[in-house]
């Protein structure tokens, strides 16, 4: 921590720089802006509590992502969070006048239907743009697991997308770092 | 985003087509984080002065274990100066090594069982699982070798809640051997004064009696080689607000509101669930370490 710069100033500075990105990551994981906000707040609260003990502030992003992921996965496990969103979207529901499902709705629904760790692997690899090794560090698993979770996630995404999948021919396995 | 998977960008674009609500300001978030930290902050009763400082004296382990199982909630003794027992003349036990992070995490099951075994009669203990079948909440601290691994047991009467916890902290160097040194107490509890070392069968335990928003907190600290073992007996669970902290008995109802329809949020127990002697004895229990 820099001499003369208070803990709170550092914290505020980090929040202003990274909160939006972290919240967007949380949203892509959970599909709900309000829950994403909760997770982001929880993450920053934990960061604040541990701020004095975090010696390598250059590694804050990685630490924050790990806290966020842990919070997201824990939230899903907790009994009072085992809730089913009322706005679950049926991907087969016609949403356009021509009777075709709205691609946007189909895409959103497909991502949300992936198992949490597959979704997390995809978000970290292709949204946050982490390497396989970095993703493994955040998820707390091996690189091999990341590769298989990514490949499985992409395969499931293609399967869930059905007709829209024609447009997803370029999505391939997650084996490359 | 990587260029290797161009079409997945459409998934992100579809997701982000849903407009985000305004991001709370930094000051709002800071305020909430401070509030949460404050609720975790405990103040040494010694500093409270008028409230009556609790001076922890040397206690005997037999006395402590004698009370461990027999306390009923209606007669839970408040933390008070323990009976002064002669300092045992047993040779000091050297600090055992702090376990690895994985070992500490795996040991969570046993620590949960030990904490449940210490639940006073009349109270119901609820182990707070980090994930199904895994009671240890284990965190690595940044990219360091340091970690904390904590098991929580909520104690409830159905109308009031308290908490027991056992935390192993490892990967920490240069802590010395004094469980009441400022560096150690700063890691174990924000109360940096009022720590007294008691001897439990040759094991030095630092004991701090302090206070949170719901009552007294009794903390027992045992030094490890490269870490700490910390046992806490909380009269009440820190107050929770919709800032991300929720009580373990919270139940979410409804699906569209996100304002935490918390059931519970109960006041603290009449007194901390374990006395000073009991906390010291539990902290000296070798079963809490792998």
Contact B243, A41 (CB under 8 A): yes
pLDDT, residue A109, reads: 83
Q: Is A14 on the interface with B (CB under 8 A)?
A: no
Helical segments of chain B, H only: 8-16, 26-40, 45-48, 61-68, 101-106, 108-117, 182-188, 276-283
Q: Is B158 exposed, middle or buried (0-12, 13-18, 19+ CB in 10 A)?
A: exposed
Average pLDDT score, chain B: 72
Range in A37-46, A161-170, B17-26 with the lowest mean pLDDT? A161-170
Q: Which residues of B touch A45 (CB under 8 A)?
A: 32-33, 36-37, 243-245
Question: Is it the case that residue A98 has pLDDT exceeding 80?
Answer: no
Distance from CA of B7 to the nearest CA of A (A): 6
pLDDT tens per residue, range B17-58: 888 888 888 888 887 777 665 544 332 222 223 233 333 333
Question: Is it the case that residue B252 has pLDDT exceeding 70?
Answer: no
Interface A:B, Cβ pairs < 8 A = 155
What's the pTM? 0.46
Identify any residues that bridge with B162 across adjacent strands, giving them in sequence order: B155
pLDDT tens per residue, range B160-184: 888 899 999 999 887 888 899 888 8
Q: Is A24 exposed, middle or buried (0-12, 13-18, 19+ CB in 10 A)?
A: buried
Q: Calculate mean pLDDT across residues A148-154.
A: 91
Question: Is it the case that residue A25 has pLDDT exceeding 70?
Answer: yes
Q: Which residues of A touch B40 (CB under 8 A)?
A: 49
pLDDT, residue B103, reads: 92
pLDDT, residue B261, reads: 32
Q: How far apart are CA B271 and CA B73, in angstroms?
A: 8
pLDDT band at A22 (very low <50, low <70, confident <90, very high): very high
What is this model's ipTM?
0.76
């Amino acid at each position: 921590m820099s001499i003369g710069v208070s803990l709170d100033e550092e914290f505020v500075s980090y929040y202003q720089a990274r909160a939006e990105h972290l919240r967007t990551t949380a949203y892509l994981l959970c599909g709900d802006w309000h829950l994403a906000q909760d997770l982001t707040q929880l993450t920053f609260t934990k960061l604040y509590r541990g701020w004095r003990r975090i010696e390598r502030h250059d590694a804050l992003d990685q630490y924050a992502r790990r806290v966020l992921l842990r919070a997201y996965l824990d939230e899903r496990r907790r009994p009072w969070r085992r809730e089913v969103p009322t706005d679950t979207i049926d991907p087969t529901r016609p949403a356009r006048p021509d009777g075709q499902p709205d691609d946007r709705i189909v895409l959103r629904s497909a991502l949300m239907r992936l198992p949490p760790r597959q979704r997390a692997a995809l978000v970290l690899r292709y949204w946050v743009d982490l390497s396989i090794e970095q993703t493994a560090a955040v998820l707390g698993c091996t690189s091999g697991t990341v590769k298989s979770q990514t490949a499985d996630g992409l395969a499931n995404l293609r399967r869930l997308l059905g007709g829209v999948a024609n447009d997803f021919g370029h999505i391939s396995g997650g084996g490359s770092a | 985003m990587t260029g290797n998977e161009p079409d997945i960008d459409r998934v992100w674009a579809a997701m982000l087509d849903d407009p985000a609500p305004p991001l709370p300001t930094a000051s709002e978030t800071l305020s909430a984080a401070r509030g949460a930290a404050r609720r975790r902050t405990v103040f040494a009763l010694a500093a409270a002065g008028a409230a009556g400082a609790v001076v922890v004296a040397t206690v005997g382990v037999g006395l402590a274990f004698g009370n461990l199982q027999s306390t009923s909630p209606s007669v839970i003794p408040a933390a008070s100066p323990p009976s002064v027992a002669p300092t045992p003349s047993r040779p000091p036990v050297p600090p055992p090594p702090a376990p690895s992070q994985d070992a500490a995490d795996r040991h969570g099951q046993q620590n949960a069982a030990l904490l449940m075994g210490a639940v006073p009669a009349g109270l119901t203990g609820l182990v707070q699982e980090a994930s199904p079948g895994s009671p240890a909440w284990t965190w690595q601290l940044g990219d360091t070798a340091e970690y904390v691994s904590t098991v929580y047991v909520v104690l409830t009467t159905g109308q009031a809640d308290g908490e027991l916890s056992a935390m192993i902290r490892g990967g920490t160097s240069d802590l010395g051997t004094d469980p009441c040194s400022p560096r150690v107490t700063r890691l174990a509890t924000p109360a940096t004064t009022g720590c007294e070392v008691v001897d439990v069968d040759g094991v030095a335990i630092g004991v701090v009696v302090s206070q949170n928003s719901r009552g007294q907190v009794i903390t027992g600290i045992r030094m490890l080689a490269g870490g700490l073992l910390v046992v806490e007996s909380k009269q009440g669970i820190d107050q929770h607000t919709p800032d991300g902290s929720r009580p373990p008995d919270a139940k979410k109802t409804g699906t569209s509101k996100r304002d935490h329809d918390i059931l519970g949020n109960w006041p603290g127990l009449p007194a901390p669930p374990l006395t000073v002697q009991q906390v010291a004895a539990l902290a000296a229990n070798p079963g809490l370490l792998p």
